[in-house]
Amino acid sequence: MNRWINKLAQAARVALSLATGVATFYLACLGIGAFGVGILFMWLFIWLSLILHELGHVAGARIYGMTVWRVNISGLEFHAQHRGWRVRLAGFPYRRVGGFVQAFPLFGRPLRPQMISLALGGPLGNLAVAIFCGACGWLLLPERAAFLSLSFAAANLGSALINLVPHEGTLPSDGLTFIRLLRGIDEHTPGHVHARLISRSIAGQTADQLPESEISVLEQQPPPIQLIALWYRLKADQNRGDWASADSRRTELAELELALIPAQKEALSDLSATLRLEFAFSRAMLTRDGNDLAEDALPTKLASTLPWLQPRCDALVAALHGDKARCTELLKISQQHAEKSVDKALWSSEALLRRYITAAIGERNHVER
């Protein structure tokens, strides 16, 4: 997007934000009749309009059968599970973004209409609420409640218009995303290929079943994206029980991490930590020595995001140390967490790894006899 046009778009967004705040505040004051309380209602209505905006994106995604992965509203994050949601305080991963919805397309269906529905769901949700509350306010005039309804309508109308302005910021605005989608999309770009791989995984295709051509697209990109390709390669090796091949990729991780700039290292720190633990797991399976794996552990925050991973690794350590009871307990915990995921390929992959760990117990018992 042209830099000067983007600056004009940003100025328009700022002007709309100020106008929205003033209109929401003024109408709230007319409804409440108190300046201080009017400020509180202004912030409340703006925050509620943000929630409705993100819920609109969720509705837009679900209309086309997309899988909603996570929803972040003012730093409070909701992670989709097979049944229900898991809530955690995640902070703001993107600067100057009050909320976002991460969703993946339904595999096997055209990508563009799904993405258009996702992009427009938020603004259209705000517009629908603005029209409804505006109509209610008009019918209730001159009652005080009418001004509160009109104040909430103003907050939602402003939210819709601000997000429809085409602007390239930390994330592209809904309006800019919509315009780009209208022009058409190249489904062979790395971003869309990665989204399609995740969609395949959600549908149940494990890493060893994914198309070679799509993983190769990621491998041909710069280092940050190559790390994602390495993840798929490693998981495919693990699913096949090819621990020697999995362990041989450890040097590739070190080389890719050296090529990252500091900002990329920080952004990909969770992926790097996960890969290192999975490499330690693969080496322990290869050497049947769990001492090094016992010293590796995920950071607390990441362990909460991937609750099945640490128990599975600890189960392998217990198996290699001959503690069958502890191993069985940890495998059950890992299974329970894995089967809460919306990613069906994870269920299959983790089930395979649990069987490999159980086999390691049998091998140890045989050697001891």
Residue 37 banded pLDDT, cuts 50, 70, 90 = confident
pLDDT of residue 91: 65
User: 162 and 45 in one domain?
Assistant: yes
Distance CA 57, CA 123 (A): 8
pLDDT tens, residue by residue, 330-361: 999 999 999 999 999 999 999 999 999 999 87
pLDDT at position 300 over 90 = no
Residue 77 pairs in a beta bridge with 72, 88
Instruction: Give me the DSSP letters along 195-223.
Output: HHHHHHHHHT--GGGS-HHHHHHHHTS-H
Please give the average per-residue pLDDT across 148-158, as a whole number: 97
- Please give the residue range of the domain that contains residue 54: 3-182
Distance CA 73, CA 57 (A): 12
- Dmax of the chain from CA atoms? 89
Last residue of a domain, one of 182, 212, 242: 182
Residue 302 banded pLDDT, cuts 50, 70, 90 = confident
Please give the average per-residue pLDDT across 279-303, as a whole number: 88
Full-model pTM: 0.87
DSSP state of 106: P
Helices within 210-343 (DSSP H only): 212-219, 223-240, 243-248, 250-258, 262-267, 269-287, 291-295, 300-305, 309-320, 324-338
User: 251 and 139 in one domain?
Assistant: no
pLDDT at position 368 over 60 = no
Please give the average per-residue pLDDT across 293-306, as a whole number: 84
Report the side by side order of strands in the sheet with 67-73. 85-89, 76-80, 67-73, 99-104
Distance CA 165, CA 140 (A): 32
Nearest to 197 by CA among 343, 353, 349, 348: 343
Task: Mark residue 343 as left, alpha or beta (left: phi above 0; alpha: psi -120 to 50; beta: remaining).
Answer: beta
pLDDT of residue 62: 94
Which of 184-198, 223-237, 258-272, 289-303 is the most confident on average?
Answer: 223-237
Distance CA 43, CA 239 (A): 50
Torsion angle defined by CA atoms of residues 322, 324, 329 and 334, in that order, rounded to the nearest 10 degrees: 60
Rounded to the nearest integer, the mean pLDDT of the chain is: 91
Please give the average per-residue pLDDT across 29-43, as a whole number: 88
User: 268 and 242 in one domain?
Assistant: yes
Question: Which helix or strand (DSSP H or E) is residue 149 part of?
Answer: helix 144-164
Last residue of a domain, one of 182, 201, 221: 182
Tokens for 229, please give them.
Answer: 């390709």
User: 148 and 289 in one domain?
Assistant: no
User: 300 and 207 in one domain?
Assistant: yes
User: 268 and 147 in one domain?
Assistant: no
Please give the average per-residue pLDDT across 51-76, as a whole number: 93
pLDDT tens, residue by residue, 223-273: 889 999 999 999 999 999 999 999 999 999 999 999 888 888 888 889 999
pLDDT of residue 226: 93
pLDDT at position 92 over 80 = no
User: 211 and 357 in one domain?
Assistant: yes
User: 195 and 175 in one domain?
Assistant: no
pLDDT at position 276 over 90 = yes
User: 252 and 309 in one domain?
Assistant: yes
Please give the average per-residue pLDDT across 309-316, as a whole number: 96
Which of 29-33, 95-99, 176-180 is the most confident on average?
Answer: 176-180
Distance CA 189, CA 195 (A): 10
pLDDT of residue 369: 46
User: 136 and 206 in one domain?
Assistant: no
User: 159 and 11 in one domain?
Assistant: yes
pLDDT at position 71 over 90 = yes
pLDDT of residue 57: 97
Residue that wins the pLDDT comparison between 316 and 369 = 316
User: 197 and 94 in one domain?
Assistant: no
If one counts every other C-beta atom within 10 angstroms of the C-beta of residue 227, the result is 21
pLDDT at position 365 over 60 = no
Domain count, the chain: 2
pLDDT at position 95 over 80 = no
Last residue of a domain, one of 154, 182, 210: 182
